[in-house]
Structure 1
Amino acid sequence: MATDTSKYKLNHTMLRVKDPVETVKFYELLGMKVINKIPNPQWNFDLYFLAFDGPQAESPGKHWTDREGIVELTHNYGTESNAEYTICNGNDEPHRDIAISVDNLQSACDRLEQANVAFKKKLSEGRMRHIAFAKDPNGYWIEIIGLKDQVTTETNTSTYRMNHSMIRVKSAKESLKFYQETMGMTLLRTSENEAAKFNLYFLGYKREGETENSSATSDREGLLELTYNYGTDDPDSDFKGYHDGNAEPQGFGHICVSVDDLDLACARFEECGVNWKKRLTDGKMKDVAFIKDPDGYWVEVVQNEGIKKRTGW
């Protein structure tokens, strides 16, 4: 018996946060719900898992490991009262964002503005009038894009999707090979922007009926967007690489893939010759593994408890 990558899911994106109360309140304003909390007082941190969970969501009511489009917030005890603690939002250079897709782009942005949410870019600003960027309480950028079929009625958060996580990569060729061949993802859409000297690659675990290089990816969850800026992989370039979010100063932590059989999946990754951050057998936590992608970003691997029970999370 072997692991089946077609059953894998891009489960969540982990972000470290300063104040969990304030941050959870923000994501609830977006329409998300805390679907699980894992306290870890023995290690002085708690985990909050948020997702769109209404009746019109993609996977309402499912176990948190059996979903895509989750945001995991990590709170290390005491940061909320530490005036010197700051979050690396990943965009000062810039590096990363997460994106939600909404039913009525203008109405959704108006609603957030009325709630005094800070924006990096409003719809009315810049050349790209089809996207906006809000900022969460930690400074992380939340890209806001439209679902394929926009409505004229007032926005309804129960229809929203946590569409994708974006990371910048040094070599498109190396990263695409890793996420397709090693992680089992499919390249679903490519956006080439030669004039601006960057390309976007949208990958995910292909679902029934989906085709490669589809033009419509905004209506689903669980996508990974790779941003490649031309020349960063040039051997003569002075570019050294991107901050992985886990070196100081910390912020973004990892993306997570849930698998059909954790032991078999990790055995396959071993055969693929991955660069391990943590094997299943390392450390005290024997139910999670971490792989490093070509840029050093961490990819957590966990058991999909909807397929096979393991931890009782």
Structure 2
Amino acid sequence: MASGAEAEKVVPSNDVLEWVKKDKKRFLHAVYRVGNLERTIKFYTECFGMKLLRQRDIPEEKYSNAFLGFGPEDSHFVVELTYNYGVDKYDIGTGFGHFAIATEDVYRLVETIRAKGGNITREPGPVKGGTSIIAFVKDPDGYMFELIQREPTPEPLCQVMLRVGDLDRSIKFYEKACGMKLLRKKDNPDHKYTIAMIGYDDEYKSTVLELTYNYGVTEYTKGNAYAQIAISTEDVYKSAEAVDLVTKELGGKITRQPGPIPGINTKITSFLDPDGWKTVLVDSADFLKELESH
């Protein structure tokens, strides 16, 4: 039988994992690096129909940011582009898959992108063995975007696809550490891969993570282009405690202990999952305050 001290250690950990299930989390943004900020802004606004939401230059740190999406940051998932002074090329690596945009008419969107000189890597049409209409395009830096034909959705920027080495481990990690739900899982033996859609709401109404396992492939290169995904949380301290527990069981590690960012005072914590993909958890109330100050 456990001593009093040992019993005390166990109870809080169970409490914090239960708390994760109740925490109101939301995907905020994906952060990645581009070689020419104005070129990418032009491509995303003219080809995809995104809006430039805000832009900032930090000369003392030698970088600039731009936030783009299909709606305001307090309610929509957006992309945060980072330009580091003097760096015009990045390695995307083999692990990052794609972003996805839902649109009512893939064929029309592809024609718009083609007219603007965009790189169409898969012409629009039904998926093999299915009825969904999709296309693939590459942005100026080589990031892949899947275009998916769907009814109107509140969240057109609908997927971030990452490749993982052990799908069940990854699903378990994000469920326990981040409170995500497994929305669906699909095995495709003909093409030797399995996918899992995980997130916080219906995949047709919100942004989801699409995790892909390719048969027999357990490791991927990360490159230096894609950086991380940011998710809001009601309490970065409790969240970090839960993540720390889950990393001990499944792998990964906390890379930034919870606390305020100097100068901004927004509280964050960050971690790597078992495959080395980075997530930043951001205090919800602090994030909204930060938006109001811009």
**TM-score bracket relative to the smaller structure:** 0.7 to 0.9
Distance in 2 of aligned mates of 1:114 and 1:159? 27
Q: Is the 8 A contact 1:11 1:222 kept in 2?
A: no
Distance 1:168 1:73, change over 3 A: same
- Among residues 251, 257, 265, which one is paired with 1:279 in the alignment? 257
- Among residues 71, 76, 87, which one is paired with 2:84 in the alignment? 76
Q: Is the 8 A contact 1:36 1:49 kept in 2?
A: yes
| 1:243 counterpart = 2:221 | yes
| 1:291 counterpart = 2:291 | no
Structural mapping, 1:117-128, within 5 Å? 117-123=118-124, 127=128
Q: Is the 8 A contact 1:98 1:143 kept in 2?
A: yes
Amino acid at match of 1:147: R
Deviation at 1:132, TM superposition (A): 1.1
Give the structure 2 partner of residue 213 of structure 1. none
Structural mapping, 1:1-313, within 5 Å? 5-29=22-46, 30-53=48-71, 61=72, 64=73, 66-79=74-87, 85-90=88-93, 93=94, 95-123=96-124, 127=128, 130-148=133-151, 161-206=156-201, 210=202, 217=203, 219-233=204-218, 241-245=219-223, 250-273=224-247, 275-281=253-259, 284=262, 287-305=267-285, 309=289, 312=293
* Identical residues among aligned pairs (%): 27
Deviation at 1:185, TM superposition (A): 0.4
Deviation at 1:204, TM superposition (A): 0.7
* Structure that is richer in strand per residue: 2
Deviation at 1:251, TM superposition (A): 0.6
Deviation at 1:184, TM superposition (A): 0.7
Give the structure 2 partner of residue 153 of structure 1. none
Deviation at 1:159, TM superposition (A): 7.4
Structure 2: gaps of 5 or more residues: 1-15
- Rg larger in structure: 2
Amino acid at match of 1:270: D
Deviation at 1:165, TM superposition (A): 0.3
CA-atom RMSD, angstroms?
A: 2.9
Distance 1:36 1:304, change over 3 A: farther
CA distances 1:131-162 after superposition (whole Å, capped 9, x unpaired): 2111111111111111147xxxxxxxx97700
Distance in 1 of aligned mates of 2:108 and 2:178? 37
CA distances 1:254-295 after superposition (whole Å, capped 9, x unpaired): 111111223332233334446112223598576332200010
Amino acid at match of 1:199: T
Structure 1: gaps of 5 or more residues: 54-60, 80-84, 150-157, 211-216, 234-240
Deviation at 1:297, TM superposition (A): 0.8
CA distances 1:33-66 after superposition (whole Å, capped 9, x unpaired): 122334322211122111102xxxxxxx4xx2x3
Q: TM-score, normalised by structure 1?
A: 0.76
Q: Is the 8 A contact 1:19 1:75 kept in 2?
A: yes
Distance 1:105 1:220, change over 3 A: same
SS at match of 1:200: strand
Q: Is the 8 A contact 2:236 2:259 kept in 1?
A: no
SS at match of 1:107: helix
CA distances 1:204-243 after superposition (whole Å, capped 9, x unpaired): 113xxx5xxxxxx3x323210000111234xxxxxxx112
Distance 1:232 1:263, change over 3 A: same
Tell me whether 11-20 or 122-131 shows the greater mean CA deviation.
122-131
SS at match of 1:305: helix
Q: TM-score, normalised by structure 2?
A: 0.80
Distance in 2 of aligned mates of 1:179 and 1:271? 12
* Structure that is richer in helix per residue: 2
Q: Is the 8 A contact 1:261 1:308 kept in 2?
A: no
Deviation at 1:130, TM superposition (A): 2.3
SS at match of 1:112: helix
Distance 1:68 1:186, change over 3 A: farther
Distance in 1 of aligned mates of 2:167 and 2:256? 25
Q: What count of residue pairs does the alignment treat as equivalent?
A: 267
